[in-house]
Amino acid sequence: MCNYKKRKVSLGFTDEEYDLPLHMCYIYQDDDERMETIGKFIKSGLEAGDKVYYFVDTLSIDEMKEKLLESGVSKEAFEQEHIRLRHSKSVYYPEGSFDVDSVLGTVKQVYSEELGNGYNVRNTGEMSWALRDVPGSEHLIEYEAKINILANDTPINGICQYDARKFTGATIMDVLAVHPYSIISGQVIKNPFYTPPEEFLEKYLSKQAR
């Protein structure tokens, strides 16, 4: 049960509005489609007055900034820090290893601070960093499941980006199991594979311990 008042948000790439929390996975195979969809998600947030955080991995910060400027994000949004680009390493493994509870704490802190300053938040992160044998990256799916627990008291509005050309089919199935919503070809779909986090973690961690 959510411990905050739900509200509807526009995502920019669909005509519908959705109740928070929104923990979405975007499993894509086309880079141009991805940039179009993510660009609309970001611009919609900026138009609504949100603070937007983008955890970048596949490009440098400067390259991603240029891509977003080309997609229509204004220079003023960057200058006024309404959009903040951070490299994946600084968020997911700043000390060289991935720690689930530490990163969950970082996400919670970002939302808490911005909400305290009067801003709603939306964020998106590229998850390809987990393919580099980062110590602790084997706990990625556990982290994703626990985001759904965090969403009980944090109004998550986030997209986790997964390149289907790089991740294994088995990982993608786990990703679908821990995201209530999927983005397919620019459309949000309630995920039929989603499993409540407590149920998922009990089975998943038991399997991992074998």
Q: What is the pLDDT of residues 94-120, one digit of tens each?
A: 999 999 999 999 999 999 999 999 999
- Least confident interval from 46-50, 114-118, 205-209: 205-209
Beta bridge partners of residue 157, listed in sequence order? 22
Give the C-alpha separation, 169 to 159, whole Å: 19
Give the C-alpha separation, 78 to 65, whole Å: 9
What does DSSP assign to residue 56?
A: E
88, 55 Cβ separation under 8 angstroms: yes
Residue 21: asked if its preceding bond is cis (omega within 30°), the reply is yes
Give the C-alpha separation, 161 to 183, whole Å: 10
Residue 177's pLDDT is 96
Torsion of CA 177, 152, 110, 72, to 10 degrees: 60
Domains of the chain as residue ranges with CATH: 19-209 (3.40.50.300)
pLDDT mean across residues, the chain: 95
Model confidence at 203, pLDDT cuts 50, 70, 90, reads confident
Three-state secondary-structure class, residue 179: coil
Strand boundaries in the chain, DSSP class E: 8-10, 17-19, 22-28, 51-56, 83-87, 121-126, 157-163, 181-184, 187-190
Give the C-alpha separation, 201 to 197, whole Å: 6
CB atoms inside a 10 Å sphere around CB 188? 18
